[in-house]
Amino acid sequence: MSVLEEALWTEKYRPRTLNDVVNQKEIVERLKKFISEKNMPHLLFAGSPGTGKTTIALALVHDLFGENFRDYFLELNASDERGIDVIRNKVKDFARTLPGKDVPFKVILLDEADNMTSDAQQALRRTMELFTSTTRFILACNYLSKVIEPIQSRTALFRFYPLKKEDVVARLEFIAKQEKVSYDQDGLDAIYDVTMGDMRKSINLLQASSAYGKVSVESVYKVLGLAKPKEILEMLNASLQGDFNTARSKLRELLVTYGLSGEDIIKQMHRELVGNNLLKIPEELRVIIADYLGEAEFRLVEGADDDIQLSAVLAKLAILGNKYDIGATK
Amino acid sequence: MSHLQWSIKYRPRSLSEVENQEEVKEELKSWLERWMNGKPNYKAVLLNGPPGVGKTTIAEALAHDYNMELLEMNASDSRRLNDLKSIAEKASTSSSLFGEKGRIILLDEVDGINSRQDAGAIPAIIDLIEGTKFPIILTANNAWDPSLRELRNVAKLIDLKRLGKIPMKKLLERICKAEKVICDPKGIGAIADVSEGDARYAINMLQSIAEVYRRVTEDLVKELVRKKERTLDPFETLRDIFWAKFFWQARAAATTSEVDYELLIRWISENIPLQFQDMEDVFRGFDVLGKASIFLRRAKLGDWDLLSYVFDLMGPGVSFAESSKLNGSWKAKWVKYQFPSYVHLMSKTKESRDALRSASEKIAKACHCSTDKAINEYFPFMRVLPLDEFSPQELKVIKGIERESETKNGERQQQRKNIRSRKRT
């Protein structure tokens, strides 16, 4: 385990084998069958973030191939591999070497597959067919609807659901004890309340709050406050008050200093809009803004430039703020 | 006020209206008549001359005068081999040239053919010329370009003269009269001077002044007309876009800029809030520019035809985002345009962005996730952790630059103590 993997609890406490996985019981049972038969179809793991897709994929190949599973396993992330050609070449190179003795195939995990365009997915489908005699694919995605049907029909689907509260809390308690962190029950409950069954986020939040001495409601919310860029709310307020230039400089900080993508920023603005009482605006205005944020995110998905499309959002907010007299209340 | 470009509106329809090209006209007529008699001396002619001397106009007028159909293909639109081949096929298979209506094939701007991108286009044109049953007219700004050497061998080269100052002035005066524009001979003379024989350019200049001021004086020309043969610098581009009163003016500004479209989009974006006072206009400007950026992205993925719409939206789209332009009383606002600060910011922050990337790659590798997820899911929580595995620069970006100073020092030290004492136990 690398220093970094040791330092981050999400990695340190990631289950290594299917037996260690305490959740997603039905999925684990079905996968264990593949291991005993030493055969499996292509797999499609779909579910919200932090529900164990990558963990279970890693545990599966560990159990299939043993400790040296890395020799028979290729991990790709569709969000970072630039284009289908890169993926195709990596797959080709990997598939060229022979599989091991016991298991007649090798495994490729393609994570965040729903971030591929449908054209790229079509090309991926052909690649999957080409190497099907020696390789199996595990595709992981958040949104099944973003995976094209031909791929869905060629894979065995496993749906991952958010973890139950008792499972999350039990795991957090286990980690806290191992790490000798003091905590109270309300603190762990608070973690679940904000992460809603996302295990990765829960553990990250546990670790960060523990840096304040004790995991409590107070420290959890302190971390949450620190964890989100304050510029989001500042940007929203500035633009609603008609101060377009200030709002735009906040936007650039988010894009450049924080390295957030335009879509990330829109999502965080949306979060402030729906789940936060720090933004003081009339309810009907929330609806209008939500509608426009959706439009802007759609444009960004289509390929609009982050800085320009978000500048349009800020100008829109300035217009709406003026219409609803937001500047005057301040 | 006419919204049609005057250079199109007053384009000669017949050869008799074409000024100053008597020899060319005679040569073309006798060439075409030999074709009609079935014994052409050349299958094709190559009209050579600088922009705006009337190459395309003459070809069109010739077809008009002989009541023939002009099968036109602009080489700078589409030079794909298949298109050429389909024209060649039509040209060689059609049975009778003068059965119903004759045809002339026009291949415009053959020197726009890029020998690398359009490999095979020149041989395809030569095949077309050799197999054709119809007269072919080629046009070029510079027929002496080395890539056109073989074409010069199979087509008769005809040079077109630049329009002289006297016929140019006559032409401009005629248009002024027709458009009821007050014109000062010195103003017209000044346009003729800078146009250097390019009639299209001269007429466009005339229109851009006359449409706004209804008169053309020497002072106005000196103030508003730039010498041509130069692309617009970004400041001129912006002024022309924002001040344009017509679609084509704003579009021409966007397409003739010396900055490429990618950078131009940043220039426009920077200056929209400076130029427009009304926030509604600012919004419309950014909104339309956002759309342009989508088309640009698509174009770069291979749909280059979409580039055309990028210019439509970048130029006219932004220009007419200003709603008060529709008022009769609208006057362009003078603005000191700014260099795009976003570009500046990106180059200034290269180091920290590199650190951000390398830090996110480390996390992505360790945590089996994408770099995007590393930034969104891990960085926020790592801000409060002491991390020894990152370089100072990487730590700075993970923790957020000013956040460092914001958190009280005492609090931070306390955190470190807590963690240390825990590690010891």
Picking from B266, B283, B387 by the largest number of A CB atoms within 10 A of its own CB, the best residue to mutate is B283
How is domain B21-159 classified at the architecture level of CATH? 3-Layer(aba) Sandwich (3.40)
Residues 6 or more apart whose Cβ sits within 8 Å of residue A255:
A262, A265, A306, A307, A310
> Within the 359-418 window of chain B, which residues sit less than 8 Å (CB to CB) from chain A?
360, 362-364, 366-373, 375-389, 397, 400-401, 403, 407, 414-415, 418
Picking from B279, B358, B412 by the largest number of A CB atoms within 10 A of its own CB, the best residue to mutate is B279
Q: Are B172 and B184 in contact (CB under 8 A)?
A: no
Mean model confidence pLDDT for chain A = 89
Question: How far apart (Å, rounded) are the C-alpha atoms in residues A312 and B290?
Answer: 8
Q: Where are the beta strands (DSSP E) in B353-424?
A: none
Residues 6 or more apart whose Cβ sits within 8 Å of residue A146:
A114
Domain boundaries, chain B: 21-159, 163-230, 350-424
Closest CA–CA distance from residue B318 to any residue of chain A (Å): 12
> Which residues from B are below 8 Å from A202, CB to CB?
none
Closest CA–CA distance from residue B268 to any residue of chain A (Å): 10
> Which residues from A are below 8 Å from B290, CB to CB?
299, 304-305, 308-309, 312
CATH number of A231-329, picked from 3.40.50.360, 1.20.1050.10, 1.20.272.10, 2.60.40.420: 1.20.272.10
> Within the 253-282 window of chain B, which residues sit less than 8 Å (CB to CB) from chain A?
265, 269, 272-273, 279-280, 282
Closest CA–CA distance from residue B302 to any residue of chain A (Å): 13
Residues 6 or more apart whose Cβ sits within 8 Å of residue B37:
none
As a whole number of Å, the end-to-end CA separation of chain B is 87
Q: What pLDDT is stored for residue B278 in this prediction? A: 93
Q: Are B242 and B210 in contact (CB under 8 A)?
A: no
C-alpha Rg value of chain B to the nearest Å: 30
Question: How far apart (Å, rounded) are the C-alpha atoms in residues A119 and A101?
Answer: 36
The structure tokens 């026009």 sit at B106
Give the A:B interface size as CB pairs under 8 Å: 174
Residue among B291, B356, B387 whose CB faces A259 most closely = B356
Contact B368 A223 (CB under 8 A): no
Q: In the beta sheet, which residues pair with residue B156?
A: B45
Nearest to B204 by CA among B269, B251, B242, B162: B251
Q: In the beta sheet, which residues pair with residue B104?
A: B70
Picking from B353, B381, B425 by the largest number of A CB atoms within 10 A of its own CB, the best residue to mutate is B381
Closest CA–CA distance from residue B371 to any residue of chain A (Å): 7
Kindly report the CATH number that applies to the domain delimited by B163-230: 1.10.8.60
Q: What pLDDT is stored for residue B283 in this prediction? A: 97
Nearest to B353 by CA among B385, B314, B394, B387: B394
Closest CA–CA distance from residue B71 to any residue of chain A (Å): 37
| Low-confidence winner among A47-61, A186-200, B71-85, B249-263 (lowest mean pLDDT) | B71-85
- For residue B379, give the chain A residue with the closest CA: A227
| A244 inside 8 A of chain B by CB | yes
Q: What pLDDT is stored for residue B416 in this prediction? A: 54
Residues 6 or more apart whose Cβ sits within 8 Å of residue B11:
B57, B60
- For residue A258, give the chain B residue with the closest CA: B400
* A317 vs B330 pLDDT, higher one: A317
Sign of CA dihedral B281, B284, B290, B291: negative
Residue among A8, A308, A309 whose CB faces B366 most closely = A8
Question: How far apart (Å, rounded) are the C-alpha atoms in residues B386 and B396?
Answer: 12
Mean pLDDT of A281-288: 92
Question: How far apart (Å, rounded) are the C-alpha atoms in residues A83 and A86?
Answer: 6
Q: In the beta sheet, which residues pair with residue A215?
A: A183
Fold of the domain built from segment(s) A3-160: Rossmann fold (3.40.50)
> Which residues from A are below 8 Å from B269, CB to CB?
307-308, 311
Q: Is the ipTM of this complex over 0.85?
A: no
Contact A227 B377 (CB under 8 A): no
Q: What pLDDT is stored for residue B425 in this prediction? A: 44
> Which residues from B are below 8 Å from A292, CB to CB?
none
Fold of the domain built from segment(s) A165-227: Helicase, Ruva Protein; domain 3 (1.10.8)
For helices A53-65 and A25-37, give the axis angle rounded to 10 degrees: 20
Q: What pLDDT is stored for residue B115 in this prediction? A: 59
Residue among A4, A179, A316 whose CB faces B283 most closely = A316
Mean pLDDT of A184-193: 93
Closest CA–CA distance from residue B257 to any residue of chain A (Å): 20
| Low-confidence winner among A82-96, A209-223, A311-325, B67-81 (lowest mean pLDDT) | B67-81
Question: How far apart (Å, rounded) are the C-alpha atoms in residues A147 and A132?
Answer: 19
* Tens-digit pLDDT string for chain B (425 aa): 446 788 888 888 998 888 778 889 999 999 999 888 888 888 899 999 888 888 889 999 999 998 888 887 765 554 456 667 777 676 666 555 445 567 888 888 787 676 555 667 788 888 888 888 889 999 988 787 777 888 888 899 898 888 888 888 988 999 999 888 888 888 888 888 888 788 888 888 888 888 778 888 888 887 777 655 456 788 889 999 999 988 988 998 898 887 888 899 999 999 999 999 999 999 999 999 999 999 999 888 777 888 899 999 999 999 999 998 888 788 888 888 988 988 888 888 888 888 888 889 988 988 889 888 888 888 888 877 766 677 777 877 776 644 444 444 445 555 555 555 554 44
Q: Where are the beta strands (DSSP E) in A80-231?
A: 106-111, 135-141, 156-160, 182-183, 214-215
Q: What pLDDT is stored for residue B322 in this prediction? A: 94
Neighbouring CB atoms inside 10 A of A211's CB total 23
> Which residues from B are below 8 Å from A299, CB to CB?
290-291, 294
> Which residues from A are below 8 Å from B368, CB to CB?
54, 58, 75, 111
- For residue B280, give the chain A residue with the closest CA: A319
Closest CA–CA distance from residue B118 to any residue of chain A (Å): 25
Domain boundaries, chain A: 3-160, 165-227, 231-329
- For residue B297, give the chain A residue with the closest CA: A303
Residues 6 or more apart whose Cβ sits within 8 Å of residue B83:
B73
Query: Taking the model in full, what pTM does it have?
Result: 0.60
Closest CA–CA distance from residue B422 to any residue of chain A (Å): 7
